[in-house]
Amino acid sequence: MTIKKNLAEIKNSLPEHVTLVAVSKTKPNEAIEEAYESGQRIFGENKVQEMVQKWETLPKDIEWHMIGHLQRNKVKYMAEFVSLIHGVDSFRLLQEINKQAAKHNRVIDCLFQIHIAEEDTKFGLDEKELLEITSSEEFKKLKHIRIVGLMGMATFTSDQIQIEKEFKQLKAIFDNLTNSLPNISILSTGMSGDYKIAIKEGSTMVRVGSSIFGSRNYH
């Protein structure tokens, strides 16, 4: 019952234009089913193998989002069903997604991940690299991917001003990018600890795990 209660509380606090991705990584099917029963259909995972296993065994109307760092050799396992890839951080990865999507006659929606945090353990492009990709002729040739927005992770800190600054920086990059990609609409920012700040700073998609499913146990 706690999952349903947590989910209801979070959903009620979100503005209408903000989509909730329930981050179910490391959690068993039963936890996902409980969220599913209360109407949640979008789930986020960060390991391809785990996501494939869950996709195979859970209801087929679930939309699976890959939110983790993605290796090119893993794209093929999820190209058939993944509905949004949040962490695209290189052109070579995008080419591979395009290639695997073509095999399934699909167009896969993707977000470019932008590095905004102070830690360099977090992945992502800077604005210059982003513009290099989006202005290239090679990029325009990719017909089996669609860039629908940007994703970013703020520094893990209790400094609210710092987090706010990083989300503002990403929003500015997002707004600039609409010059070349006018159809982008998704700004994926905000996790359990910072989604309220993220929404204030323009997020349209929050990725919330532990506040719904409880803390994760990796052992």
Ligand X SMILES: *Cc1c(COP(=O)(O)O)cnc(C)c1O
Nearer to ligand X, 98 or 188 (CB): 188
- Report whether 155 contacts 118 (CB < 8 A): yes
Is 24 exposed, middle or buried, given 0-12, 13-18 or 19+ CB atoms closer than 10 A? buried
> In the bound complex, what is the minimum distance in angstroms from residue 10's beta carbon to ligand X?
10
Closest Cα partner for 2 from 206, 191, 212, 208? 212
Nearer to ligand X, 63 or 131 (CB): 63
Nearer to ligand X, 14 or 102 (CB): 14
> In the bound complex, what is the minimum distance in angstroms from residue 173's beta carbon to ligand X?
18
- H helices of the chain, where? 2-13, 29-37, 48-57, 75-78, 91-103, 127-134, 137-140, 160-177, 195-200, 210-213
- Report whether 181 contacts 216 (CB < 8 A): no
- Report whether 46 contacts 26 (CB < 8 A): no
> In the bound complex, what is the minimum distance in angstroms from residue 86's beta carbon to ligand X?
7
Residue whose beta carbon is closest to ligand X:
209
> In the bound complex, what is the minimum distance in angstroms from residue 185's beta carbon to ligand X?
19
Q: Measured over all CA atoms, what is the biggest interatomic distance in the chain, rounded to whole angstroms?
A: 52
> In the bound complex, what is the minimum distance in angstroms from residue 36's beta carbon to ligand X?
18
* 207-216 as b/e: b if 16+ CB within 10 A: bbbebbbeee
Nearer to ligand X, 169 or 192 (CB): 192
Nearer to ligand X, 78 or 142 (CB): 78
Contacting positions for ligand X (CB under 6 A): 23, 25, 46, 67-68, 153, 191-193, 207-211
